[in-house]
Amino acid sequence: MIEILNKVPPQYQQSSAHDDGQDENPRSNSLETVPAFHSNATSSGTSSIPRSPPLAPTSNTGSNTGFQVIVVKLLTEMALEVKEVKSRVDHNTALLNDLNLQKEGMSVPEDPMDIDLDFQLQVQTVETLEEFEERLTSAEFVKKLLLKLSVLGGKDVQSTVKNLMSNLLAPSVAQQYNFTGAKGKKEFRQLELAGVILRAVHMNPRTQNAQKDDVKQALVSYLFNARDLMGGRRKRRANGQVVPATEE
């Protein structure tokens, strides 16, 4: 019998062993070696995996401070650049002013304000204005006057005319005139001073190309509002007078 069994092929011997109750299933053996999904699970079923502590909120104070420093630095640099540009503009304006004076056949003085006109400005009375008009018939006097007026300047025609007129005429004199002499006032356009104003406006580099009508309108506006210079409008309101909307 033993001899017969020894002649049985090996595969049949394995099957026979299985039939004898010896379970040699490799699958069942391999399952025993698979680790549990929660290898650290406790018997109660809860996980014992340690949790990371919550991250503390980070402070951005440092970054904000750095940003502010950069902004301040940039603003400082911009301010310096603007100052430099303004200096260049003033320098170029002075050069153009000198050229305009030379066109008028005038030598450029070191300080035009030091020129002696032998006449007191601003004019305080109509009678003094009449004397001033007589002096304006002298070409030499007009040249000296234009040199003094050339430093007043202005950013546009309106401001240039205002600067000129306020230095030449007192408000009490200016309010007695309008451009055409209408409504019982004295006529400004027929004065020698009107022509001097036009020439002075053209000597300002910023208004050298101004049209005659633009200068006229600026004079009309200045004379119309002359009564409100030195607080005149406020006084009229205090007295209960209505100020026209065109004067606002």
- Report the C-alpha gap between 232 and 125 in whole angstroms: 18
The alpha carbon of residue 81 and the mean position of all alpha carbons in its chain are separated, in whole angstroms, by: 13
pLDDT at 68: 86
Q: How confident is the model at residue 110 (pLDDT cuts 50, 70, 90)?
A: low
Tell me how many degrees the CA angle 187-166-150 measures, rounded to the nearest 5: 105
Per-residue pLDDT at 89 exceeds 50: yes
DSSP reduced 3-state for 164: helix
Q: How confident is the model at residue 97 (pLDDT cuts 50, 70, 90)?
A: low
pLDDT at 104: 57
- Report the C-alpha gap between 112 and 148 in whole angstroms: 5
Who has greater pLDDT, 150 or 218?
A: 218
**What is the mean pLDDT of the segment spanning 186-194?**
97
Report for 23-27, 150-154, 196-200, 240-244: range of highest mean pLDDT: 196-200
- Report the C-alpha gap between 60 and 66 in whole angstroms: 10
Of 22-26, 29-33, 87-91, 188-192, least confident by mean pLDDT is 29-33
Q: Which residues pair with 177 in a beta bridge?
A: 186
Who has greater pLDDT, 128 or 153?
A: 128
Of 17-31, 69-83, 211-225, least confident by mean pLDDT is 17-31
Per-residue pLDDT at 23 exceeds 60: no
- Report the C-alpha gap between 80 and 84 in whole angstroms: 6
